[in-house]
Structure 1
Amino acid sequence: LLTNTWRYMKFAIANQFFQIAHRSGVDYNSVLDAIRRDYPRAADLPGPGFAAGPCLLKDTMQLSAFTPDHFPMGQAAMQINEGMPNYIVDTLNSRHALAGRTLGILGMAFKGDSDDPRASLSYKVRKLAAFKGARVLCTDPYVPDSSFVSLDEVLKESDVLVIGAPHRAYRGLELNGREVVDIWGITGPIRL
């Protein structure tokens, strides 16, 4: 419980730092580079991303339930990490209403180069974007799902792309200057 909770909290710190920088109009790539380069004790700070999967959240929830009212850091970590899809969809919708637009999600697994979709936050992005009125297309080279479409179709049809899982297959994609959300930095710099 403790090791998975520790990892989950590290991801929450990274996601919170990303949100602070983004809300302040600061380039997070520069911030993260400076933290990792100029402060060796923080070299292991992860980048932002979806902290998901079947274990990290579950174990943090168990520890939080075991110590009710005595683990506010764990509860904050859950709010931050589980709130990343909301943050992304709300940011996109505030820039340009998602209603009537097509949003493509590249990667539905909970982590890169995996075929495991359990507790993937990409599904939350899909649901939230659809609720805002977007047509949502999903693709994943590893996760079999009859509702998914090909990568080519997602790239051709989408107005905005969200990298849901950092699959190596997405490195070097020709994105034609389109609006791309890549909090992982797999297609280039971290961007929202």
Structure 2
Amino acid sequence: MVISEQFGADIYQIVELANKNYPRGGPKKPGFAAGPCLFKDGFFLTSKIPFPELIAAAWKINETIPSYLVERVKSFTPIKGKKIAVLGLSFKSDSDDTRESLSFKLIKTLKRERAKVFVHDTYVKNDESLESVVKDADVLIIAAAHKEYSQKGYEYFRKLAKKDCVVADVWNIFGKSSIVYKMQ
């Protein structure tokens, strides 16, 4: 995701082409890879391979994704004092499991930048409705690919958020060719 954007390439198109006619699954789409097994399984794997530094490097890169997203959003709009809607706290879609979720690191980074952060997760109890979180948002970040968000669709969010809202959609639930973009 990070490398493809530096070259102006569409990561989603790259993954689709890599998977074309491949019978066993192939590369997965990028997103917030997290959860308790990611670190644990990587640690066990490093004891069995001759190049453990590769696993450690991948883990370090993954941990920087929240900061990378914030910087990408800031390249579109300043975020200090802006309303940021973060959709999803769980580390995987359609789940209430928040263990080791990168959403918390993302929220912490946004608050450190003095953004006004509002959070919704379909599966994690909170008091905010989806509509109230997204209404008049300056920035919309899709942090978990919950079906509710993709089923609502781009138009639902476009109508609620501010006209020039910046979207960071690491899961590509809206089918755009970029991870970070302005709503049209």
Same fold flag (TM > 0.5): yes
SS in 2 for 1:95: coil
| Equivalent pair of 1:108/1:164 in contact (CA under 8 Å) | yes
Q: CA deviation at 1:81?
A: 1.1
Q: Deviations over 1:78-114 (max 9, x none)?
A: 1111111111011112322211111111110110000
Question: How far does residue 44 in structure 1 lie from its aligned partner after superposition?
Answer: 1.6
User: Is 1:184 matched up with 2:171?
Assistant: yes
CA contact (8 A) 1:106 1:164 kept: yes
Superposed CA deviations along residues 35-70 of structure 1, whole A, max 9, x for unmatched, are: 222x63785200001111111123324555x58x95
Partners of 2:13 and 2:58 in 1: CA distance: 24
What's the secondary structure of 1:136's corresponding residue?
Answer: strand
Runs of 4+ displaced beyond 3 Å: 61-64
Give a deviation string over 1:108-135, Cα, whole Å, max 9, x none.
0110000111111011110001111111
Conserved? CA contact 2:120–2:133, under 8 Å? yes
**Which of 122, 127, 141 is residue 122 of structure 2 equivalent to?**
141
- 1:1-192 alignment, distance < 5 Å: 18-37=1-20, 40=22, 43-61=25-43, 63-64=45-46, 71-145=52-126, 149-171=128-150, 172-173=152-153, 174-176=156-158, 178-189=165-176, 191-192=179-180
Code of the residue aligned with 1:30 in structure 2: it is Q
**In the alignment, is the contact (CA less than 8 A) between 1:35 and 1:43 conserved in 2?**
no
- Cα pair distance change 1:120/1:71, threshold 3 Å: same
Alpha carbon RMSD of aligned pairs, Å?
A: 2.3
Percent identity between the aligned chains? 35
CA contact (8 A) 2:84 2:139 kept: yes
Q: Which has the higher helix share?
A: 1
Matched residues, number: 171
Distance 1:46 1:70 in 2: 22
Cα displacement (A) at 1:138:
0.4
- Structure 2 length normalisation: TM-score? 0.82
| Long gaps (5+) in structure 2 | none
Amino acid at match of 1:133: R
